[in-house]
Amino acid sequence: MLVLGIETSCDETAVAVVDDDRRIRANCVLSQQAEHAPYGGIVPEIAARSHVDHLDGLIAQALSEAKIGFADLDGIAVTAGPGLIGGLIVGLMSAKAIALVHAKPLLAINHLEAHALTPRLLAPLDFPYLLLLISGGHCQFLIVHGVGHYQRLGTTVDDALGEAFDKAARILGLGFPGGPAIEHAAARGDGARFDLPRPMLGRSGCDFSFSGLKTALLHVVNGLPKPLAMSDIADLSASFQAAVADVLEDRLGHAAARFRAGAPSGRALVVAGGVAANGFLRARLEHAAKALKLTLIAPPPALCTDNAAMVAWAGIERLRLGLVDALDVAPRARWPLDPNARPAPGAGVKA
């Protein structure tokens, strides 16, 4: 089984070809970072336009790298949400056109499900497992009971974790995206120098909050001489990461207890999403998971950040179950994995 994956929900144009033997035949990712960097964040209109400019060429490139033609495909998988609506429309319209012209099944994929199923692309992994999804738009604990069957245990009441990294990086004068820049700077820093708050630490439940941490960082920066010294930036980055790691560890303790109660046969903690590319946080999570008798599974960084191999794989999982979509399927800017989850108290639009 060979599936084409298309990802255009955010600022990466990505196309991949994956087979059901877990072989990634092609995995092309075109980052728009340079186009958005002057604005310090993603500009939706620029993103959509850039997807239009590059998607066709990238599809041709992926097929050529995989040495196949459209006729060899068994399905067309495309991210249909959640994400920036302009970009989603570009990807979905292209996928529909290919599916229609070549009479192939269309698989409309939830981007979060693609992150959630990525570990099964790498190696066999049984359901259920506990998922910590930490990306630019999300920060949640979910129990993955099966394809299409997710139970949310907790979420952020304000900023997503990747968003907190990006905002912290802006405060420190580091570039966009902020996560990799902070991790890089923190490697030379002292994480104990600044005593930043650990929001939600010790509270019941598995929700997160990061906006207070970012504000605390801003206050510390305001009290330091400008321009910031390299050593200050390094120590601030390390202190920020240390605070995040403490929060993740604390919240994991609560989530693991609920996971054990809700899915007693589960043994694995999967960490996915762009922030899961952070080596420091992965190491801390691995340590914490071990203490809770959970095995940490973290995809390699290139499959944590947005890519289309994960979309193609989610397509394979759905195609195997006959979960094919009609050609009139609509893109969805918001699309929670757990439709029964209520917004976290205090949450804005991102629940």
Dihedral angle computed from the Cα positions of residues 249, 153, 123 and 1, in that order, rounded to the nearest 10 degrees: -150
Smallest distance from the beta carbon of 221 to ligand KG4, in angstroms?
18
Let me know: does 22 contact 43? Beta carbons within 8 Å: no
In DSSP terms, 122 is beta-bridged to none
- Cα 293 to Cα 288: distance, rounded to the nearest angstrom: 9
Bond into 299 cis (ω within 30) = no
The site partner of 266 among ligand KG4, Zn ion, none (C-beta below 5 to 8 Å per kind) is: none
Q: How far is the CB of 138 from ligand KG4 (least distance, A)?
A: 7
Does 306 bind Zn ion (CB under 5 A)? Our answer is yes
User: Closer CB to Zn ion, residue 194 or residue 313?
Assistant: 313
Contacted by 277, from ligand KG4, Zn ion, none: CB < 5 to 8 Å by type: ligand KG4
Q: How many helices (H) and strands (E) does the chain have?
A: 11, 10
* Tokens encoding 328: 């009139």
Closest CB to Zn ion among residues 75, 299: 299
- Between CA 70 and CA 301 the distance in angstroms is 29
135 binds Zn ion (CB under 5 A): yes
CB–CB of 126/38 below 8 Å?
no
278 binds, among Zn ion, ligand KG4, none (CB under 5 to 8 A by kind): ligand KG4
For residues 338 and 334, give the distance between their C-alpha atoms in angstroms, rounded to a whole number. Answer: 12
Task: Count the residues of the shown chain that bind Zn ion, applying the rule CB under 5 A.
Answer: 2
> Which parts of this chain interact with ligand KG4 (CB under 6 A)?
10, 135-137, 162, 165-166, 177-180, 183, 273-275, 277-278, 305-306
Q: Least distance from C-beta 306 to Zn ion, angstroms?
A: 4
In the complex with ligand KG4, which residue's Cβ is closer, 156 or 266? Answer: 156
- Cβ at position 328, least distance to ligand KG4 in Å: 26
Q: Which amino acid is at 249?
A: E
List the one residue out of 155, 161, 118, 150 whose CA is nearest residue 140. Answer: 155
User: Which residue number, 113 or 306, has a Cβ lying nearer to Zn ion?
Assistant: 306
Alpha carbons 162 and 179: distance in angstroms, whole number: 7
Between CA 285 and CA 255 the distance in angstroms is 13
Q: Which does 162 bind (CB under 5 to 8 A by kind): ligand KG4, Zn ion, none?
A: ligand KG4
- What minimum distance in Å lies between the beta carbon of 88 and ligand KG4? 12
DSSP 70: G
Distance of closest approach, residue 18 Cβ to Zn ion, in angstroms: 17
Amino acid at residue number 251: R
Kindly tell me which of 113 and 166 has the beta carbon lying closer to ligand KG4: 166
Which residue, 156 or 239, has its beta carbon nearer to Zn ion? 156
For the chain, the first-to-last Cα distance in angstroms comes to: 35
Interacting stretch for Zn ion, rule CB under 5 A, among 22-30, 200-208, 285-293, 300-308? 300-308
Answer with the entry of Zn ion, ligand KG4, none that 178 interacts with (C-beta below 5 to 8 A by kind).
Answer: ligand KG4
Residue 73 or 141 with smaller CB distance to ligand KG4: 141
- Supply the minimum distance, in Å, between the C-beta of residue 156 and Zn ion: 15
128 versus 273: smaller Cβ distance to ligand KG4: 273
Q: How far is CA 50 from CA 30, 195, 219, in A?
A: 10, 42, 37
Contact 131, 272 (CB under 8 A): yes
Q: Are the beta carbons of 119 and 125 closer than 8 angstroms? A: yes
From the list Zn ion, ligand KG4, none, pick the one residue 7 interacts with, judged by a Cβ distance below 5 to 8 Å according to partner type: none
Q: How far is the CB of 187 from ligand KG4 (least distance, A)?
A: 11
Interatomic CA distance for residues 212 and 14, integer angstroms: 34
Q: Which is nearer to ligand KG4, 151 or 278 (CB)?
A: 278
Give the residues lining the site for Zn ion (CB under 5 A): 135, 306
